[in-house]
Structure formats: C-alpha cells, structure tokens
Chains A and B, each alone.
Chain A
Amino acid sequence: MMALKLALRNLFGAGLRTWLNVIVLSFSYVIIIWYQGLIDGWNLQARRDMIAWEIAGGQYWQKNYDPYDPFTLENSHSRIPAGLSDNNTAPLLISQGTIYPEGRIQAVLLKGIRKDQQVIRIPSDKLIVENGEIPVIIGTRMAKNNKLETGDYLTMRWRDVNGTFDATEVRIAAIFKTDVPTIDNGQIWLSLEHLQKMLQLEGEATLIITGPELAGTKAFSGWDFKSQDFLLADLDQIIKQKSIGGSVMYILLLMLAMLAIFDTQVLSIFRRQKEIGTFVALGMTRGQVVKLFTVEGGLISVLAAMAGAVYGIPLLILQHHEGYAMPYETDDLGITIAEKIYPTYSLGLIAGTIVVIMITATIVSYMPARKIAKMNPTDAIKGKIQ
C-alpha cells in the first residue's frame, strides 16, 4: 500500500515525464488492439462470407472428387441421391471448359447450379432463359480479367461424358460481386439443367451443398460428407499464417513499448540515484525501493490503459462501424478479403492485451529496479554512481 501511494505520488509529481510515457504506452494499447481486431474482423468476415457464398452447412462430395486435381472431374459425378434433392440443398455439377473472350483462349471451370437454390448466395435466380439463349453468371474478378460485361456473348466449349467436344454461345446474364475469390476467378456459373444436358449427365452432380439443417445428418452411398470445419481448413491455415504475422507485429509493438519503459526506468535509476540514496538513508529497505520502482512501472501501464481508453474506445468503435477500406490491389490476392474490413474486438483480446502489457511493463520495470538494490547508498546519496 505504501509502495502504491509513493509510486502514485512520484508519478503525478513527475508531471510531463510521466504523461509522455503514459501517452506513448497508450498508443501501443490502442494500436495492438486495433491491429489484432482488424485481423480478427477479417477472419470472422472471411469465414462468414465463405459459409454464405460457398460452403453453407457443409457439402457432400462425390467420392472421386478432389478439388485440387482437375483430372478427377471427369469421373467425379453421380446421380443425386433422393434424400439430397430438396430445397435445402444446392447440387453442383463441375466440369472443365474453355471460353474465347475477344479471341483469346481461357480455361474455365463450368459450374452448374439449380436456379431456385437458396442455400448459398450465388444469384442463381439470374439464370433466366430468354430467346433460347444459355444464360451464365460470373463474378466481378472474372469479368474484369476477361473484359466481360453483362449482356456480352461468349463462345464456350466443353467435352461431354463420352469425350465429345461441343461448343455454344452463352450470354452473360449477370455479374455478381463477392468477397470469395474461389467462386469467382476462372469460373462460369450456369444452370444445373443446362450443364447436365451439355455433359449428358442428367440428374447427376459433383457435389451437393446442404443447408445447416441437413448437414451430415444422413450418409449416402458414394458421397462423402465434408463438414464446415473441413471445408474451412484452408482458410483456417491462411488465418493461422496471418495470426503468426499478427503476433510478430504484436510482439514488435509490445517490445517498442517495453523498450520505452525500460529506457525510462534505467534513466530514472541514474537520474534519481540521489533520491534513491535518500530513500535508503531515511529507512527504506532495498526491497522496498525495488518494489517502489516496479510499482511505478506497473502503474504507468495502468495509467496508459486509462488514457488509451479515453481516446481509443471512440476510435475503435468508429472503426468497428465505419470499417477499414482495403486497398484495391488486395482483390487479386486470391484470399477472401472484403472491400472494407470491420475490426472486431473481443473481451479476450482487450483483457488479454491489457494483462500482457501490464505484466510485461511490470517485469521490465523490475529488471532495472533490481540494479538499485546493488547501489552503495553513500555513493547514491552524492549522485556518484556512473
């Protein structure tokens, strides 16, 4: 209690020096929480978008389907089981194809989806047949890379189940905007009925996306259920990598803050050695002096948390609502990034950051304070220690 009282007295008495330290450390609190919140917000948004646009409650994969091996696509199709054909599912038939935008050859994945599906957010309802044309929809990345616009016509070639090549002209019925590049880049979406007919695979699909109610509740012969966790594993891996990068940033920011405290404490020892010698002469034990300096360092982190809260809370809330606009180039990174990321700050993040900074600040203050214990008080009183 005495150490706390004296530490407070010393800190408030030191005035500007204390407040400079407090403000610098408060920046660390706010920046660390904002940065981690941004990554957490990105992660949350990426997972949410992938579930909404691609994964839903989970997927049944035809047993030969391997998304990383396009050569398996030829054999990755089976008849849609009766129990997986209701409105709570979205069967997808996937095949390789080629398009010829502006005379160039472009390999694509053809994905057939039911027009009336409501399991994922692909605007499949735009696949309306007009004048006997085959409507297709594409994502904005695909449109941009191939200079395609709504209403454009496109020659599309494919090979059916018997290995026979065929081609037709399709019309871009709509261009959708999604944050999930894995359903956009190099992909043409058309109606399931059309693709089944083109491939001569009536009633068949490569995978079946299910709503959350159905997810994995039943087993179907020849189909393997892939849970959300499995399907998000790649994203989780990317998130993990990002988290490592985030941790490096976290540690760097923390180290900068701690360096400031350490530096201040070391300077304090030498600048305040006369004061320390007087403390000892007046009856303070070495342990009490060490405690006093350690508490001073710890208190700086407490005051910094309070100062950080004053300006940090409104700033962080504003960012949470307004979002952080990602640079245009991030659209081409191939990972799920929204145009704007809305940082999320969990209680764990805030409490964890505060506790970590406070503990580290206290340890960092303790280390130079220990040096005090070795000071010769008679030299310290005269300010003779170098």
Chain B
Amino acid sequence: MENSSIIFIEGMTKRFPVGRGFFTALNQISLSFSEGEFAGLVGPSGSGKTTLLNIIGSLDMPTEGKTLVMDKSISELTHKQAAKLRNRYLGFIFQTYNLFPVYTVFENVEFPLLLLKMPVSERKKAVMDALDWVGLTDKINSKPAQLSGGESQRVAIARAMVKKPIIVLADEPTANLDSANSHNILQTMERLNKELKTTFIFATHDEKVINYLHRQISLEDGKVVNDETVRSKISSN
C-alpha cells in the first residue's frame, strides 16, 4: 500500500497547544491516496479536515505518526524541502481564492512557473493552456478585482494546475460561490482529474462538492469515521 500511494498516512496525530493543555485536532489518522483520485475529506467545522489538508500540503507538521507525500516524510522536511515539495508536486485552491490582487490573471497563473524557473516561451504556453482549461483566455489582462467569484476561483484552479501537479488540495473551494458557479468549477476540476490524472483532495462540507466526489472520507472530532469509494452522483460526462 505504502509503495503504490502518493500519500500515505499512518497513526498520525496533530495536537495544538491551547492554554496549558492541548487540543487534539487529528487523532490516529491512517489513510492513503493513489494517483488520479478525486477524493474529499468531509465533515462539519472543527472535524480536522483543513488541518489534515494542511499537513498533506506540508504547510503544517504532524505531532505524531507517519505522513508520506510523494515518499517524503512531512515531519522530517526542512522549510526549504517542504517548499520544494509544494513547488513541484502540489497545487492549492483556497476558499477565498487567494489571488494576488496587484497581478493580472496571466501573472497570477504564471507565478508558480516563475518559482520553477521555467523559460519564458514555455511559461507563456503553459499559462495560456491553463487559462484555456478554465475558459478564461479572454481575461488575461484583468485584475482579480475585475473578476466575479466564479472567475476568480477558475483563475485559482488554473494557477493550481498550470504546473501540472500530482496533487491538488482544495479547501472549501465552493464556499463563496453560487450553485451555478460551483457546478462549473467542479466540472472543470473533474475534467482535469480525468484528462491529466491529477489527484484532487477536497476539504468540504458542501453537498454540491460531495456529490462529485469519487471517494468520501468522513471526519468527526479528528477521527476518520468512514472512508468509502462512491460513484459520483453528478458527472461532467
């Protein structure tokens, strides 16, 4: 299992200091993800899904247990190594889009490629391809403030996908979107999952997202209470 997984978690616990004690956000989590999954961490607020997503994304460290992402142990990574891991293999999509307000759409999507030091011509092509995937080639010179919520999240998807990462981590990506836009971006992500074999892991409690998932991992009070493979109720095809 460990060898074929791109993410392997075993007996992982995360505690946060609170006053003189600790709050256990994740308790003895054991999970694994394979390439090309379209999975979601589902549960109410405070169940630990964002914390788990942050640890997988090497933005946070587990307190105990084993967490391997692309065969790299998260708890043993230096800041530099963690940055390298995110840079090469991971894409992030946030609830509030987190676009850079002073950059244009093109520059926002281009940003991860600058960190990869990709040559200009390749970079331009990759950015245009990514914007083509999300249908925003006509907005390349717009600033985030000129975009609607749905367009902003599509830019965020293009930014996450532009370097063709192995894993995309999406934290409540539809929380700020209306129903039509939610379906639109979920269909886009599902299509990219199929076409590029990118693994998508969502943290969500939004029913619209849950309906698209192929695997649902239910969390409650920091524990996995259910992990099941489901047939997507809605499909882009």
Q: Which residues of A contact B (CB under 8 A)?
A: 2, 5-6, 9-10, 12-15, 274-275, 277-278, 280-288, 376-378, 381
* Inter-subunit contact B87/A282 (CB<8 Å): yes
Residue B107 interfacial (CB < 8 Å): yes
Decide yes or no whether B54 CB sits under 8 A from chain A: yes
A13-B102 contact in complex given A281-B57, A283-B112, A285-B80, C-beta closer than 8 Å = yes
Does B92 sit at the interface, judged by CB under 8 A? yes
A274 — nearest CB in chain B belongs to which residue? B98
- Whether the pair B87, A281 counts as a contact (CB closer than 8 A) is no
Instruction: State how many angstroms separate the Cβ of B25 from the closest Cβ of chain A.
Output: 11
Q: Are A281 and B59 in contact (CB under 8 A)?
A: yes
Partner of A9, one of B59, B80, B90, B107: B107
CA distance A274 to B101 in the complex (A): 11
Which residues of B approach A to under 8 Å, CB–CB? Answer: 54, 57, 59-60, 79-80, 83-84, 86-88, 90, 92, 94, 96, 98, 100-103, 107, 111-112, 114-117, 159
Q: Which A residues touch B83, using CB under 8 A?
A: 280, 283-286, 288
B74 CB to closest chain A CB (Å) equals 13
Nearest Cβ on chain A to B124's Cβ, whole angstroms: 14
Known: A283-B84, A286-B79, A378-B60. A278 touches B94 (CB 8 A): yes
Partner of B103, one of A2, A13, A274, A376: A13
Task: Judge whether A284 and B115 touch: CB under 8 Å.
Answer: yes
A281–B60 CB distance below 8 A: no
In the complex, residue of chain A having the shortest beta-carbon distance to the beta carbon of B78: A285
Q: How far is the CA of A282 from the CA of B168 in the complex (A)?
A: 11
Contacts of B96 in A (CB 8 A): 274
B112 touches A2 (CB 8 A): no
Interchain CB contact under 8 A, A280 and B59: yes
Can you give 7 contacting A-B residue pairs, CB < 8 Å? A13-B100, A13-B103, A278-B92, A281-B86, A285-B79, A286-B83, A287-B80
| Chain A residue with the shortest CB-CB distance to B100 | A275
Nearest opposing residue in chain A for B102, CB measure: A13
Within the assembled complex, what's the spacing in Å between the Cα atoms of A284 and B100? 14
Do A282 and B103 touch across chains, with their CB atoms under 8 A apart? no
Interchain CB contact under 8 A, A10 and B86? no
* A14 CB contacts on chain B under 8 angstroms: 102
CB distance from B119 to the nearest CB of A (A): 13
Q: Do A278 and B114 contact each other (CB < 8 Å), given the known contacts A283-B83, A285-B83? A: no
- Given A9-B103, A278-B98, A286-B79, 16 other A-B residues pairs in contact with their CB atoms under 8 A: A2-B115, A6-B114, A10-B102, A14-B102, A280-B86, A282-B92, A282-B111, A282-B159, A283-B87, A283-B88, A284-B87, A285-B79, A285-B80, A377-B59, A378-B54, A381-B94
Judging by beta carbons under 8 Å apart, are B102 and A5 in contact?
no
State the Cβ distance, A272 to closest chain B Cβ, in Å.
9
Cα distance, A286 to B59, chains bound together (Å): 12
Query: Given A5-B114, A378-B54, A282 and B102 touching (CB < 8 A)?
Result: no
Chain A residue nearest in CB terms to B84: A283
The answer to whether B87 and A9 touch across the interface, beta carbons within 8 angstroms, is no
A300 and B105 CA atoms in complex are apart in Å by 25
Expressed in whole angstroms, the Cα–Cα distance for A283 and B96 within the complex equals: 19
Give the docked Cα–Cα distance between A65 and B83 (Å): 79
For B79, the chain A residues whose CB sits under 8 A away are 285-286
Contacting residues, chain A, for B107 (C-beta < 8 A): 9
Which residues of the partner chain B approach A283 to less than 8 Å between Cβ atoms? Answer: 83-84, 86-88, 90, 112, 115-116
- Could you say which residues of chain A place their CB within 8 Å of the CB of B98? 274-275, 277-278, 281, 381
B94: A residues at CB distance < 8 A: 278, 381
In the assembled complex, which residues on chain A have CB atoms less than 8 Å from the CB atom of B86? 280-283
Q: Which 7 A-B residue pairings sit nearest by Cβ, starting from the closest? A: A13-B102, A283-B87, A285-B83, A278-B98, A283-B86, A281-B92, A283-B115
CB contacts (< 8 Å) of A286 on chain B: these are: 79, 83
Q: Given the complex of chains A and B, what is the CA–CA distance between A376 and B79 in angstroms?
A: 11
Cross-chain contact A282 with B112 (CB below 8 angstroms): yes
Listed residue (A13, A282, A288) with the most chain B CB atoms within 10 angstroms of its CB: A282
A2 contacts B114, C-beta separation under 8 Å: yes
